């Protein structure tokens, strides 16, 4: 297969550069690349295998390296009974949290970026710098006081408590600001001449033009929200509010009991499926969002 | 850069900006100010009152051997994570860049681990190295190596480093691959005509051209190792054995939530705040360079 890929590569390349490797070198590159992919993939493969075998097969090492026949059984057990709480419940909580963070952050950011770019109003630059400052501080650094605020609002074990503290950051605002600055002035001019108000301009011109940016941000923020660990660990003491990423660790027994590995590994596979689907299916947007948000 | 064409009015823009300002104030500025405030006070053991101690908490922290150890641990940990996540990524990116066909497929396959949460990655690696049932630990045992990260601090560190770096390889790969694709072919071919072999070309031409990306990734990976690896450490080692894997962020959590030592935990938050500030400034400088390159 590699040999055929190689010949077709040579044929389809109109003017093969003189530094492109051919023959054995190209073949070796493919082998090394496949080895690299296998090594990187191994932990996921092993987790998948473990989620399809029975507990005794894992408890007597070495465990098999090929999938067993307990796929349905283990996943059913994980989804509908779990250890502390059915995994289906945790999946739902994660979905609400990740979507809430992505949508919430995009909405508040696009509005404030629009205000900052398209208006001159009192204290505008003060607000800009206040928002900009929040770029700097991850939630990990201010956990104790943020926890106290959330507790005082009675938002422990609520979706609000999970979502709001994590959307208080300016990355998205900054991104939208950069993008709005590249929208030609003529468009705003034309809108004004035609007598369209600022909100009309926002709905009819700015929002449609930002579609790709919004989608790319959504991908990045969804994964960010889904993969949160420390914050849900603090805020959700009620198992029914656990998210799947933090609930996974709660499935390990304390003390010397043997962990229910097949169910735990089934849960970890379930925990990675949604973000992996998002990344793979929206690869182009994802890479764009990644590169943009780090600029 | 400013817009020349703007709209009139001040009420509408204030309304538009209010949601973000309110959320930032309540969940960001107020807690951050609280952290700074609490770091200057020492609460009594019952939490009923607190006494102003000025820099006392900081002086205590910086002379505390446990905290000093945690600083060293963090430095070692973030250095290793940066190295272990960047070198294989660069290697794979160089390989992928040599391929005319199939590079896209490999990229799709390599992106996967980035989507896996650090805490889930922690569970996957814990499963492989579990002292009782872990497959890798078992095979190591067959080879005569007795793996036990529960007791051995160096092995625990190695395990959290690898588990933290794993997903990061995908991230670094994407950036290196994009940068390699942007290296002008003509430069490489000119060197090839002059007789420079692949590795010679790599070290004298490609690597220097990649330096803006490399610096950028260095900073980003250090930030990641400092702040986003809590999940890995909490799932695999909980900071042990004997605090061998207690990094600064983990200690804020352990002292603030488990130990309930609010004064010390707040002082630690403030120190981390300063570190993030410095790293952010560094990041912006680096990015400025990258843009002007």
- Lowest-confidence pick of A3-7, A169-173, B20-24, B109-113: A3-7
Q: Are B1 and A177 in contact (CB under 8 A)?
A: no
Is pLDDT larger for residue A282 or for residue A227?
A227
CA-to-CA distance for A139 and B28, rounded, in angstroms? 9
CB contact under 8 A, B6 and A119: yes
Judge if A108 and A32 occupy the same domain.
Answer: no
* Residue A131 in this model has a pLDDT that exceeds 50: yes
Confidence of residue A125 (pLDDT cuts 50, 70, 90): confident
pLDDT at residue number B234: 93
B86 occurs within a structural domain: yes
Distances (CA, A) of A222 to A104, A175, A249: 11, 16, 21
Which of A51, A80, A109 terminates a domain? The answer is A80
Residue A151 contacts B where some CB pair is shorter than 8 Å: no
Confidence of residue A175 (pLDDT cuts 50, 70, 90): confident
Domain count, chain A: 2
Judge if A156 and A210 occupy the same domain.
Answer: yes
Residue A15 contacts B where some CB pair is shorter than 8 Å: no
CB contact under 8 A, A294 and B12: no
Considering chain B, what is the average pLDDT of its residues?
86
Which of A80, A104, A139 terminates a domain? The answer is A80
State the angle between helix axes of A283-294 and A171-181 in degrees (0 to 180), rounded to the nearest 10.
Answer: 90
- Name the minimum distance, in Å, from the CA of B65 to any CA of chain A: 21
* Residue A148 in this model has a pLDDT that exceeds 70: yes
CB contact under 8 A, A268 and B193: no
CB contact under 8 A, A245 and B95: no
pLDDT at residue number A236: 92
Tokens of A295: 């600029």
Judge if A119 and A212 occupy the same domain.
Answer: yes
Domain count, chain B: 1
Nearest chain B residue to A20 by CA: give it.
Answer: B98
* Identity of the residue in A18, A197, A229 whose CB atom sits nearest the CB atom of B119: A229
Residues 6+ apart with CB under 8 A from B83: none
Q: Taking residues A34-51, what's their average pLDDT?
A: 91
* Residue A183 in this model has a pLDDT that exceeds 70: yes
Q: Taking residues A248-252, what's their average pLDDT?
A: 89
Judge if A94 and A229 occupy the same domain.
Answer: yes
Structural domain containing residue B233? 65-292
Q: Taking residues A103-107, what's their average pLDDT?
A: 94
Q: What are phi and psi of A169, to 5 degrees?
A: -155, 150
Confidence of residue A108 (pLDDT cuts 50, 70, 90): very high
Query: Phi/psi class of residue B238: alpha, beta or left (left: φ > 0; alpha: ψ in -120 to 50)?
Result: left
Judge if A31 and A163 occupy the same domain.
Answer: no
State the angle between helix axes of A283-294 and B103-115 in degrees (0 to 180), rounded to the nearest 10.
Answer: 70
* Residue B128 in this model has a pLDDT that exceeds 80: yes
Judge if A157 and A12 occupy the same domain.
Answer: no
B40 occurs within a structural domain: no
Structural domain containing residue A39? 2-80
CB contact under 8 A, A149 and B110: no
Three-state DSSP state, B51: strand
As a whole-number percent, the residues of chain B with pLDDT over 70 amount to 96
CB contact under 8 A, B193 and A164: no
Q: Which CATH number does the domain housing residue B94 bear?
A: 1.10.3720.10
Q: Number of CB pairs < 8 Å for A and B?
A: 307
Judge if A72 and A172 occupy the same domain.
Answer: no
| Tally of CB atoms within 10 A around B105 | 13
> Which residues of chain B are within 8 Å of residue A108 when distances are taken between CB atoms?
19-20, 23
Judge if A175 and A137 occupy the same domain.
Answer: yes
Q: Which CATH number does the domain housing residue A128 bear?
A: 1.10.3720.10
* Residue A15 in this model has a pLDDT that exceeds 80: no
Judge if A62 and A154 occupy the same domain.
Answer: no
pLDDT at residue number B19: 92
Q: Of B2, B15, B1, B7, nearest to A188 (Cα)?
A: B7
CB contact under 8 A, A248 and B169: no
Cα-Cα-Cα-Cα dihedral of B159, B162, B164, B170, to 10°?
-160
Residue-wise pLDDT for A149-163, tens only, equals 999 999 999 999 999
CB contact under 8 A, A278 and B115: yes
What's the ipTM? 0.85
* Residue B288 in this model has a pLDDT that exceeds 70: no
Residue-wise pLDDT for A54-86, tens only, equals 888 888 878 888 888 888 888 988 889 878 889
* Residue A3 in this model has a pLDDT that exceeds 50: no
The residue whose two tokens read 């309304």 is: B15
B90 occurs within a structural domain: yes
Which of A26, A51, A80 terminates a domain? The answer is A80
Distances (CA, A) of B174 to B93, B132, B179: 8, 36, 9
pLDDT at residue number A2: 37
Judge if A198 and A242 occupy the same domain.
Answer: yes
Q: Are B158 and B241 in contact (CB under 8 A)?
A: no
CA-to-CA distance for A250 and B165, rounded, in angstroms? 23
Three-state DSSP state, A119: strand
> Which residues of chain A are within 8 Å of residue B269 when distances are taken between CB atoms?
141-145
Considering chain A, what is the average pLDDT of its residues?
84
Residues counted in chain B: 293
Three-state DSSP state, B7: strand
B26 occurs within a structural domain: no
CB contact under 8 A, A47 and B235: no
Residue-wise pLDDT for B54-90, tens only, equals 788 888 888 889 999 999 999 999 999 999 999 999 9
* Residue A5 in this model has a pLDDT that exceeds 50: no
- Chain A, 56 to 115: residues with Cβ < 8 Å from chain B are 58-59, 61-63, 65, 107-109, 111-112, 114-115
Pairing of strands B41-43, B50-52: antiparallel
B49 occurs within a structural domain: no
Nearest chain B residue to A281 by CA: give it.
Answer: B108
Q: Are A19 and B188 in contact (CB under 8 A)?
A: yes
């Amino acid at each position: 297969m590699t040999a055929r890929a190689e010949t077709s590569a040579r044929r389809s390349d109109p003017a093969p550069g003189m530094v492109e490797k051919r023959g054995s070198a190209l073949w070796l590159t493919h082998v090394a690349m496949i080895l690299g992919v296998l090594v990187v993939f191994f932990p996921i493969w092993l987790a998948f295998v473990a989620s399809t075998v029975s507990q005794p097969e894992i408890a007597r090492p070495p465990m098999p390296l090929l999938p067993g026949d307990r796929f349905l059984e283990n996943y059913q057990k994980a989804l509908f009974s779990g250890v502390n709480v059915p995994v289906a419940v945790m999946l739902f909580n994660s979905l609400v949290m990740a979507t809430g963070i992505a949508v919430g952050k995009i909405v508040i950011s696009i509005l404030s970026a629009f205000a900052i770019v398209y208006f001159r109003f009192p204290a505008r630059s003060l607000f800009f710098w206040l928002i900009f400052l929040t770029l700097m501080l991850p939630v990990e650094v201010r956990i104790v006081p943020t926890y106290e605020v959330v507790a005082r609002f009675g938002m422990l074990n609520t979706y609000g408590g999970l979502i709001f503290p994590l959307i208080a950051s300016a990355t998205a605002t900054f991104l939208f600001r950069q993008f709005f600055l590249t929208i030609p002035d003529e468009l705003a001019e034309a809108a004004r001449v035609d007598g369209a108000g600022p909100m009309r301009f926002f709905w009819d011109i700015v929002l449609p033009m930002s579609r790709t940016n919004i989608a790319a941000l959504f991908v990045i923020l969804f994964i960010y929200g889904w993969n949160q660990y420390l914050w849900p660990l603090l805020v959700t003491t009620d198992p029914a509010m656990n998210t799947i990423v933090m609930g996974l660790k709660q499935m390990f027994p304390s003390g010397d009991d043997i962990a229910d590995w097949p169910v735990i590994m089934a849960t970890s596979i379930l925990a990675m499926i949604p973000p992996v689907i998002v990344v793979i299916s929206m690869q182009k947007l994802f890479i764009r969002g990644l590169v943009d948000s780090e600029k | 850069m400013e817009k020349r064409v703007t709209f009139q009015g001040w009420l509408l823009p204030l309304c538009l900006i209010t949601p973000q300002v309110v959320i930032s104030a309540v969940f960001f500025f107020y807690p951050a100010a609280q952290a700074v405030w609490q770091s200057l006070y020492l609460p009594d053991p019952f939490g009923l009152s607190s006494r102003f101690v000025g820099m006392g908490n900081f002086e205590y922290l910086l002379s505390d051997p446990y905290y000093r150890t945690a600083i060293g641990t963090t430095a070692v940990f973030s250095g290793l994570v940066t190295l272990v996540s960047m070198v294989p990524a660069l290697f794979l990116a160089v390989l992928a860049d040599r391929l005319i066909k199939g590079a896209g497929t490999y990229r799709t396959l390599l992106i996967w681990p980035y989507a896996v949460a650090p805490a889930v990655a922690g569970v996957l690696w814990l499963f492989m190295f579990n002292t009782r049932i872990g497959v890798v630990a078992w095979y190591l045992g067959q080879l005569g190596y007795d793996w036990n990260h529960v007791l051995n601090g160096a092995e625990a560190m190695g395990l959290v480093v690898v588990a933290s770096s794993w997903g990061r390889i995908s991230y670094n790969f994407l950036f290196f691959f994009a940068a390699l694709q942007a290296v002008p072919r003509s430069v490489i071919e000119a060197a090839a005509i002059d007789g420079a072999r692949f590795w010679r070309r790599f070290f004298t031409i490609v690597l220097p051209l990649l330096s803006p990306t490399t610096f950028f990734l260095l900073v980003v990976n250090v930030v990641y190792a400092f702040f986003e690896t809590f999940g890995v450490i909490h799932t695999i080692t909980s900071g042990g054995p004997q605090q061998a894997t207690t990094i600064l962020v983990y200690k804020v959590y352990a002292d603030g939530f488990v130990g309930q030592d609010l004064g010390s935990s707040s002082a630690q938050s403030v120190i981390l705040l300063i570190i993030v500030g410095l790293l952010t400034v560094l990041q912006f400088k680096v990015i400025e360079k990258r843009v002007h390159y």
